[in-house]
Structure 1
Amino acid sequence: MAQYTLSEENVRTIPDGWFQACIDRMYDEDNTLQAILSLEVKVLQPFHNGSISADEAAYSITRPITDYSVPKLNTYSDGSRALAQLWALLIEALIEWPSTQTPPLVALLIQIKKAPGHIHRREARDEEEKPLCWDDLPYFTRVWSDNHWMSPGQIARRCPDDATLRRARDQYIKQQDVEAQIVAAQLFTQGPLAYPRALQYVVQALEWTPGSDDHRRAPDDALADEQIRLDFLIPASGRWITHCGQRLYNSLHSNDIPGWDPRDIPRSPVSFGNPHERWTFWVERLLKLLKEEQDDELKEAAESAVRYMRTIANGQNL
């Protein structure tokens, strides 16, 4: 699980030190990888400052990998290392920068998908030996998943005190907020960041009831993975509803979820005669939590989600 340092939400300008630290961390890496990253950081900073547009930044930030040959690192992942490095840089910005910066960064990813050229001068290939290009954002989902694989229970069991737990929860909620916006932007048509992820997440958060010990630290990762940690899941599900709620509502009422494989339907203890009944159940579940829970942040998130969901259900597209 990657560790991040979240910026305060009222921060308007990311300090120069943040960008320099990204370069400094590559001190021991291959010279070619260092050169590529330095060029990418030099594009990201003026993009953040508003000096260049998303399409200008997308073109410039993809040129180093487009124009450089595959670094000769003598590893099985030579063709993906520079890409993974770029995605790690952008993911770090997505998580650490204030939430106001998330939409511009997602817009940058959208423009990167349109960037011309192939990866590493057509030298990098996919599983079918076809040259990789930018429109699939190759390896992005792998880097995202490698950085954020832990469940809330697994995260919580690694927190020795309440302060650490609070920071970990804040990081998890921010990560889910970003993930929901990536899914909402439809950057991917398949895989873990495709649209069905929105339904999978909300089902997990709102249709399962926590066990009596789920608020306690689990003795191992296997048990922790099964925990329903409402202190993590409810605020995070509110972010998913904010960014994907309108589309979820429309999909449930039309019984048409693009890219949905019936085998991927989340296991749920609740039976529904029609898919749209899920929406009503989610609202009722959140209202119940409002009455029963003591956690102020959880209650605030539940109240906000209910208000948003009722607005959607009343026919006011958002």
Structure 2
Amino acid sequence: MDKQQLIDCHERIKPFIHNTPVLTSHLMDEMAGAQLFFKCENFQRMGAFKMRGAANAIMQLTEGQKRNGVVTHSSGNFAQALSLAAQSLGVKAHIVMPKNAPQVKKDAVRGYGGIIVECEPTLQAREHESKQIEEKYGATFIHPSNDDAVILGQGTAGKELLELHPDLDYVITPVGGGGLIAGTALAVAYFGKNCKTIGGEPFEVDDAYRSLLSGTIEGNTTINTTADGLKTQLGDRNFPIIQKHVERIIRVTEEEIVSAMRLIWERLKIVCEPSSAVALAAILREKEAFKNQKLGVIISGGNVDLDHLPFQKNF
């Protein structure tokens, strides 16, 4: 995936996405000992960066493929992103969701026109149901993170950030399935000036950290993290990009994630989800490494269950 492909992707999806704002805070800069520039994808359509990749993936399909619709399996943001992107482009979207997915997320998917098929909460069940839909309707499967068109789409957030602040030293993103950090790393490589990409990841799901060390895609034995958007693992399309272009991954504790999330809510006055806070948590954990640097921070999304905030007291 070269520089021109990323430029073409951005032009293609512009009518269907928001160029989200970049926020700053003097207090946050003082706390971090660095200059922070927050790219607020929580203000993106459907509330997360994944709208970018979903729109690009659908727009790359043939007319025949579009007529037959698309399918994905997701319990979270990509389910909503593909539904909204498909609705915007006049395409039918089938969404395989686990039965135990939060009702608020199912409601959002249906609100965007997605056709939900429920399944057991296992990867095998998700893949089986998706395959059934592919065969029944001729729908095209679009993976939430391990798809070239999706990766390019996600990279446009970093491209916009660097167009506004071309002199950044680092861009830090959360790491889940790998689509965002891979796309961001491409944007940094093509549009940055001596800029590097770093990932933030919970200790509880540190498969990407271990994958970079071992050179092979690792899995997780537990997914006990409040950062629910980061429970997935890397794929064969995004991992080589991460290996080539990502400098390192910083792991953070659950307490650091919650603290960083609360800080964003209190100081930036914006709603972000726990997964988004992982990037800031990584910076605060290793402040000395980033001292006096200019840091781009991708706030990946703002879709939260307001009845179950991780820093909420029980009254």
TM-score computed with the length of structure 1 as normaliser: 0.30
Richer in strand (by share): 2
Task: Work out which of the two has the higher radius of gyration on C-alpha atoms and give 1 or 2.
Answer: 1
Greater relative contact order (Cα < 8 A, sep 6+): 2
